[in-house]
Each structure stands twice: as structure tokens, then as C-alpha cells.
Amino acid sequence: MPLEPQPAAANGILSTPPSWRAGVLAGVKHGFFGREGGVSTGIYASLNAGTGSDDDPANVLENRRRIAAAFGVERDHLVGVHQVHSPTVVFIEEPWTGERPRADALVTTTPNLAISILTADCTPILFADAQAGVIGAAHAGWRGAIGGVIESTVRLMEERGAQRERIAAAIGPCIHQASYEVGPEFEAEFLAADANYARYFVPGAGDRRLFDLPKFCADRLSAAGAMQIETLPLDTYTHATQLHSHRRSVHEKAGDYGRNCSVIMLSDDV
């Protein structure tokens, strides 16, 4: 799946960095950004959007400015939350003026506000009811996904005017089953919640299991009422030159890792 350059903003500033886009969100401006098109170096090369990383803060700010500029907005209009692997979703109408709330999803109806999620193996999900003008972005690691962050996002979108059956949702780059090896205690936690969750696990080496995080998220989306769901075929662990991965950094003993940025924005320019 090729990276695509973001279309140039109306004022002509910056047509990069490139991103992946989903067909189900074709009517809404969005992008799943990976490692390309930034200024960071070393293990963070090159587009690291993570303010929580140990990267040079000036490089992170420049990377975030580039992502914002690809959407034709100032850097302060690229907004996110302090992600904590929770089911909490917040509604946002303008850029935060103080500390970001501790949450794992955002919903907005405000044009030209680029809501974003940072990931490095967890699942980024972008949502839109284009007809109602309601969008969302969620960070769904396994803990947030089983805890209900997907359902919370759909519920808040509905409260703000969306209709579940019109919501399109795109699952962006995340760790896929072939790369997601877990222990028996991990599987046991899922089976304790619902014995039917066994279908998301297949045998790995020894007592290891392989967990299908994107399929789990897609099924939760479907159960929540989303009718249009797309999963991008991009494994963060295996696409080493294109995507940041926490698990890969651990295996390589890198010490830290960059963050991928997934963004969606209401705009007349799609």
C-alpha cells in the first residue's frame, strides 16, 4: 500500500509529509503518517510526532508543524490527548489552552481542527459521519479496546449528531497477528471477559499465542454499529523503514521509539 503525498494546502505551504489514506474516509481529510517526511534522526528518523519520546523537542515540534501544515492549519490546531490506555473519550471544540486531558479518543464537530492519535503498535482508528459533520480519533491498544474505547467514541459521536449506521471507520497501521506474540496469561484475560474471544488467538512457539488486534478492533466496531470499516494492511512491526514500532524497538534494544501520527479533520478541502 503506497504512501501518498498530502495535497498541497490552499495557501501552497508544504505538500509533504506523505501518509496512507483509507477509501472509507474519502470524503473527509485524513492521513495515517509513518516515519517519512520529518527532521528527526537516529532511532526517531524521521517523522516522529511523539512529544513523550526522548527525541529532541525541537525536532518533534517541527515534525508536528509539518503534519499540521499538510492539513493547512497551524501547529496548535493539531490536537491530541494524554493517552493512558483507557476507554475515555473527550469532545473538543478548540485547541487546548492548558494540559491535555487524560483520555484515549477525541470527537469534534469543529472545522479545521485536526484531531490526532499517536501510536507505535497500538491501533489508531479514525471515524467520520461526513453527512453529520462529526469525526473522531481513537487510540485502541488491547487494554483500551477490551475496555470500551471504541464504543465510547461511537456513543459520543452519536450524542453530537452522528448516526451509527453512517459512521465510517478506518483502522490504521498497527501490530498485526503474525507479529503480536503474547503469553498464556494475556489470552486468559481475554477469555475471562468472553470465551468467544478465543477466535482472536492462534498458536505461536511453545506456549506463546498470536493475537489479532486489528480484527478484534474491527469486530468491536461492527458490534458498535459502524457499517463501513476498513483495515489498512500495514504491520508496524514488519514495516521497519516506514513505521515506528515499540515492540521492534524493544527487540532491537533501541532504548526508545518514535510515534506514528493519525489525523482527521473536517474541511471543505478533501
**Cis? peptide before 17, omega within 30° of 0:** yes
Tell me what percent of the residues of the chain surpass a pLDDT of 70.
Answer: 94
pLDDT of residue 54: 97
Taking 80 as the threshold, does the pLDDT of residue 8 lie above it?
Answer: no
HSE of 193 in the Cβ direction (CA atoms, 13 Å)?
13
Residues 24-40: pLDDT tens digits? 999 999 999 999 999 99
**Domains in the chain, start-ordered, CATH in brackets?**
4-176+212-265 (3.60.140.10)
Do 146 and 130 meet the contact criterion of CB atoms below 8 Å apart? Answer: no
pLDDT in tens, 139-156: 999 999 999 999 999 999
How much is the average pLDDT of 199-212?
98
Inter-residue contact 159 to 152 (CB < 8 Å)? no
Bond preceding residue 46 cis, omega within 30 of 0: yes
Number of H helices, E strands in the chain: 6, 15
pTM, two decimals, is 0.95
Looking at the predicted structure, is the pLDDT value of residue 10 above 60?
Answer: no
Q: Which range, of 62-71, 186-195, 260-269, averages the lowest pLDDT?
A: 260-269
Provide, rounded to the nearest whole percent, the portion of the chain with pLDDT above 90: 92
For 151-181, how does the pLDDT look when each residue is reduced to its tens digit (9 = 90+)?
Answer: 999 999 999 999 999 999 999 999 999 999 9
In angstroms, rounded to a whole number, what is the distance separating the alpha carbons of residues 92 and 14? 26
pLDDT in tens, 16-28: 799 999 999 999 9
Q: State the Cα–Cα distance between residues 89 and 124, nearest whole angstrom.
A: 14
